[in-house]
Amino acid sequence: MRPILQEADMAKPFKVSDDTFEAQVLQAKEPILVDFWAAWCGPCRMVAPVVEEIAATYDGRLKVAKMDVDTSPNTPGQLGIRGIPTLILFKDGIEVKRLVGFRPKEAMVDELLPYIEGTE
């Protein structure tokens, strides 16, 4: 019988900033999904639990990070982010998929899964 996972055991998104983006995202060995968000953004609050579920479901195959665009505006500007929420999937330091706006979990996973599983 498998033990029941406690919330503390599940992978959660971690925070990145302008200062840590290169080391934690661009130099990551595994695929990494970055959620660019802000506290005042309603759709960002709607997408947050979906992003957390993705982090838990794909733990070990995908890392998930969150960047607050208000406290770290340089990186989103350099990436040409014009609206939030924006989620960008990076592999080997290169953007491979960009999702803008809220969408249901199934739609997000459908677009991300080929890159997570390496079938893109």
User: Out of 16, 44, 67, 84, which one is annotated catalytic?
Assistant: 44
CATH 3.40.30.10 matches 10-114: yes
Q: Which of 32, 33, 34, 41 is catalytic?
A: 41
Nearest in space to 34 (alpha carbons), one of 65, 79, 58: 65
Q: pLDDT digits over 56-99, tens only?
A: 999 999 999 999 999 999 999 999 999 999 999 999 999 999 99
Q: What is the pTM of this model?
A: 0.89
Q: How far is CA 99 from CA 23, 85, 95, 105, in A?
A: 22, 8, 11, 12
Q: pLDDT band for 120, please (50, 70, 90 cuts).
A: low
pLDDT at residue 11, as a whole number: 81
What is the tens place of the pLDDT at every residue in 99-115?
Answer: 999 999 999 999 999 98
Domain ranges for the chain: 10-114
